[in-house]
Amino acid sequence: MCGIVGYAGSRAAQGILLKGLHSLEYRGYDSAGIAVLDGHDGMDVVCRTGKVDALDAALTGRGLAGTCGIGHTRWATHGRPSEENAHPHRDCSGRIAVVHNGIIENFAELKDRLVGEGHVFVSETDTEVVAHLLERFYEGDLLAAMRRCVSFLQGAFGLAAVCVDEPDRIVVTRRDSPIVIGAGGDCALVASDIPALIDVTRDVIYLDDDQFAVLHTSGDIECYARDGRQIEPKVSHIDWDVDVAERAGFEDFMDKEIHEQPRVVHDTLMGRLKDGRMTLDELALTSEQIAAIERIFIVACGSSYHAGLIGKNLIERWARIPVDIMVASEFRYSDPIVDGSTLVISITQSGETADTLAAMRLAHSHGSKVFTITNRVGSRASRESDGVIYTKAGLEISVAATKSFIAQVVALTCLALFLGQERGKLDGATVARLYAELNRTPGQIEHILLDTSAIERAAEACTQAHSALFVGRGIGSTVCYEGALKLKEISYLHAEAYAAGEIKHGPIALIDRNVPVVALACRSATYPQVVSNIQELRARTPSCVIVVATEGDEEIRKSADHVLYVPEIDECFQGITATVVFQLFARFIARARGCDVDQPRNLAKSVTVE
Ligand code: F6R
């Protein structure tokens, strides 16, 4: 999704803005631009379609001197990717410029009114109305104009604006769209995400909905509440390292992040078993409250939803609490049966996904407690929750979720064990045995990563396919959904995933000599059934059959063209190890097909619009 960066200080803004934009590239975008106030009654605005490199090239040798400016990476929603539609957008006079994340839902009606009043629009975007509204309300005070402007806006927005008449400041506000401010001492920054400012400062201020901030080139930062009162900003310190955002010798961030998974699992598990008992102190749930949970409802999107499916399986298995799950975009517009006896669990890596946040608010409005599993401290979802379990994945740059997904599965596994223990469904010995088994997964992932040649060979056999069919049972079917999603999103090869028992009811018709079958057949209670399903599929002559199986299973070779072995583990934890195989499989195919693995087309890392 779009990225915002702004700098007000004493250094040349151009380089800082461009660096900030590069660090937001992972969010996904299709054009980029900056506006820099020159301090002499003028403003330079440069935009380019494509990558930030194109903007870099356009600015090479120009060396804009201004020390106050804003920049943006745009992910097209209203209007195709073009220089006209790229941000920053300006008013008719060219004296005000604005960058925007989110969607102005009533822009068409506002635009009609502004055009009727004589404003001239040059883009197809919703954002341009903000520039013209600011012009309409500007009477020498950009903050006052911004206040009046947002009172007319419906939708979601993070906004940063500058005006040549106030060359020493940036005005910022937000509603339902992430904005973070950097307090650099002698400078101030604004960004839609921390990587864009961490190079300059680790001290940040999270702006709340409908708050405003004015960033001065002196470094002063003024924050204002919705009612206009000046408020004391709360400064938080970021303690993770910039080098986590570097590739560290890997060919792409996805590969690096896949290889970080043993550490991520280990860190997410650390300290969970104390004196033989699972602990989730951060949820602050009393025994009475746990006993009173009648149902659990999980809401999430994409890969986080797949993690939720594994969570449902484990919570029902170990705690015997019924669990419903719905994608957040459906839940938010449904009439869900949730109340004070339902615990709602939202799962969101970024903590900023618009649909998940809306689902959480709906659940709250029905009187449910909402717990969040997220990777982002200070994110919107964490601040709106009654309890948070933080995953320890660290910053994930590649658009495709890998280590964040695995960390969610581990956190949900701990939650399921905890609920099973607290509801008296799992005795101490069983919890200890399962926890010990779970603790084997980091070593098992390392083992899988040690030699990936068989996965690469299987991937080579599929690069020319036009579609792939993934099948599994139980937790295995969920792993297949995630495997198929990874494949489609980074390689653009169509993939379907089905519970293996369902194939006879339709999907088997898809099989022909161009369609590989990818089956998950690790040792489990349903192993014999999956093997029969593989035979049924094989009989329809797919292009090849690839099977993920348990080490030592030689028999399975008779049913497969490629066998990808994973170490033996209790089936409850196969979601952790087998997913790693599918991540690597998708990445090998994507690279062979020449795709941009880290920034797949049309996708964004943080989906902050509906
Ligand atoms: C897939 C992927 C997406 C996200 C989804 C939810 O690789 O990354 O499907 O899982 O957009 O994002 P979060 O977890 O940030 O709410």
* Residue whose CA is at the smallest distance from ligand 1 atom 5: 302
Mean per-residue pLDDT, 304-333: 97
* Residue whose CA is at the smallest distance from ligand 1 atom 10: 303
Q: Which atom of ligand 1 is nearest to the CA of 408?
A: 14
Q: How far, in Å, is the centroid of ligand 1 from the Cα of 399? A: 8
Tens digits of residue pLDDT in 232-281: 999 988 876 655 556 767 899 999 999 999 999 998 998 898 888 999 98
Give residue 608's pLDDT. Answer: 72
Helix (H) or strand (E) holding 58: helix 52-59
Give residue 601's pLDDT. Answer: 84
Mean per-residue pLDDT, 107-122: 95
User: Coil, strand, or helix at residue 255?
Assistant: helix
Could you tell me the pLDDT band of residue 30, with boundaries at 50, 70 and 90? confident
Q: Is 201 in the pocket of ligand 1 (CB under 6 A)?
A: no
Tens digits of residue pLDDT in 44-93: 999 999 889 999 999 888 878 899 999 999 988 788 888 999 999 999 99
**Are the CB atoms for 491 and 595 separated by under 8 Å?**
yes
Q: Would you say residue 26 has pLDDT above 90? A: no
Straight-line distance from the first to the last Cα atom of the chain, in angstroms, rounded to the nearest whole number? 11
Least confident range from 23-32, 231-240, 268-277, 450-459: namely 23-32
Mutate to test the pocket of ligand 1, among 27, 304, 309, 327 (most ligand atoms within 8 A of CB): 304
Could you tell me the pLDDT band of residue 553, with boundaries at 50, 70 and 90? very high
**Are the CB atoms for 397 and 26 separated by under 8 Å?**
yes
> Percent of the chain scored above 90 by pLDDT?
80
User: Coil, strand, or helix at residue 132?
Assistant: helix
Q: How far, in Å, is the centroid of ligand 1 from the Cα of 15? A: 31
Tens digits of residue pLDDT in 475-524: 999 999 999 999 999 999 999 999 999 999 998 999 999 999 999 999 99
Give residue 244's pLDDT. Answer: 58
Q: Is 348 in the pocket of ligand 1 (CB under 6 A)?
A: yes
Give residue 377's pLDDT. Answer: 79
Tens digits of residue pLDDT in 180-224: 999 999 999 999 988 899 889 999 999 988 999 999 999 999 999
Contacts made by residues 462-465, CB under 8 angstroms, sequence distance 24+: 462/493, 462/516, 462/543, 462/544, 462/546, 462/589, 463/589, 463/592, 463/593, 464/514, 465/493, 465/514, 465/515, 465/516, 465/543
- Over the chain, what is the mean pLDDT? 93
Structure tokens at 351: 């903590």
Give residue 248's pLDDT. Answer: 66
Mean per-residue pLDDT, 582-601: 95
Q: Is 375 in the pocket of ligand 1 (CB under 6 A)?
A: no
Q: How far, in Å, is the centroid of ligand 1 from the Cα of 267? A: 21
Q: What is the residue type of 598?
A: D
User: Coil, strand, or helix at residue 605?
Assistant: coil
Mutate to test the pocket of ligand 1, among 303, 306, 402, 482 (most ligand atoms within 8 A of CB): 303
Could you tell me the pLDDT band of residue 394, with boundaries at 50, 70 and 90? confident
Could you tell me the pLDDT band of residue 586, with boundaries at 50, 70 and 90? very high
**Positions marked active-site:** 2, 605
Q: Would you say residue 529 has pLDDT above 60? A: yes
DSSP letter for each residue of 458-495: HHHTTTT-SEEEEEE-THHHHHHHHHHHHHHHHH--EE
Q: How far, in Å, is the centroid of ligand 1 from the Cα of 383? A: 19
Q: Would you say residue 28 has pLDDT above 80? A: no
Q: How far, in Å, is the centroid of ligand 1 from the Cα of 302? A: 5
Could you tell me the pLDDT band of residue 583, with boundaries at 50, 70 and 90? very high
Buried b (16+ CB within 10 A) or exposed e, 330-361: ebbeeebebeeebbbbbbbbbbbbbbbbbbbe
Give residue 381's pLDDT. Answer: 93
Q: What number of other Cβ atoms are within 10 A of residue 321's Cβ?
A: 19
Cα 463 → chain centroid: 27
- In 105-197, at which residue ranges do the beta strands (DSSP E only) sit? 155-163, 169-175, 180-183, 188-191
Question: What residues contact 351, with CB distance under 8 A and at least 6 apart?
Answer: 372, 374, 375, 376, 379, 380, 381, 382
Q: Which atom of ligand 1 is nearest to the CA of 353?
A: 16
> Percent of the chain scored above 70 by pLDDT?
98
* Residue whose CA is at the smallest distance from ligand 1 atom 16: 348
Q: Would you say residue 369 has pLDDT above 70? A: yes
> Nearest 5°: CA angle at 180, between 176 and 185?
155
Least confident range from 375-384, 432-441, 445-454, 537-546: namely 375-384
Give residue 249's pLDDT. Answer: 76
Q: What number of other Cβ atoms are within 10 A of residue 250's Cβ?
A: 14
